[in-house]
Amino acid sequence: MRRAFPVAMCVLIVLMAVGCGGSDQSSDVKGVLWRWTATLHGLDSSTGVSAVPGIGNYLLTLLEDGTFSAKADCNILGGTYSLSGSDLTLQPGSMTKIACGKDSQSGEYIALLRRVATWEIYEDGQLALGLENDAGYMYFSAA
């Protein structure tokens, strides 16, 4: 009986560790420099995915400390984020306010970041940020 108790405890600990959920994939999204590559407006694929011109001009990095930094064409912004499971919200804070060129998507990029609600990394390594109210997705690739 004395030997059965420690063995039973070890088995219980292993079962609890295995049963406490899968791996935390949040480390896959943090600390990576992401380039905005495309947007899907709405969930209807007939609207199509629009590519982002000048993808190197729109960057995003989620830092380990709960802050993020982003480049929106000629502007730089920062803020905080909340990540829980597949839920992600971004709270932009300070930002430079430089007037970018007429073809800039800086304003749209920042507006979309404010609407992010979920995240997922696809098998090909692409990051998809889902927008609130099923409004579509922003797609990113690792820089």
Q: Provide the CATH number for the domain around residue 69.
A: 2.40.128.270
35 belongs to a structural domain: yes
Task: Domain of residue 77: give its range.
Answer: 24-142
Contact 108, 91 (CB under 8 A): no
pTM over 0.85: no
Domain count, the chain: 1
Q: What pLDDT was estimated at residue 42?
A: 80
Number of neighbours of residue 131 by Cβ within 10 angstroms: 21
**pLDDT the model gives residue 23:** 41
Q: Is residue 48 part of a domain?
A: yes
Mean pLDDT by 10-residue block, N- to C-terminus, for the chain (143 residues)? 40 33 67 96 75 91 98 97 97 93 93 97 96 95 95
Q: Identify whether 18 is part of a domain.
A: no
Please report the pLDDT score of residue 1 as a whole number.
Answer: 46
The verdict on residue 52 lying in a domain is: yes
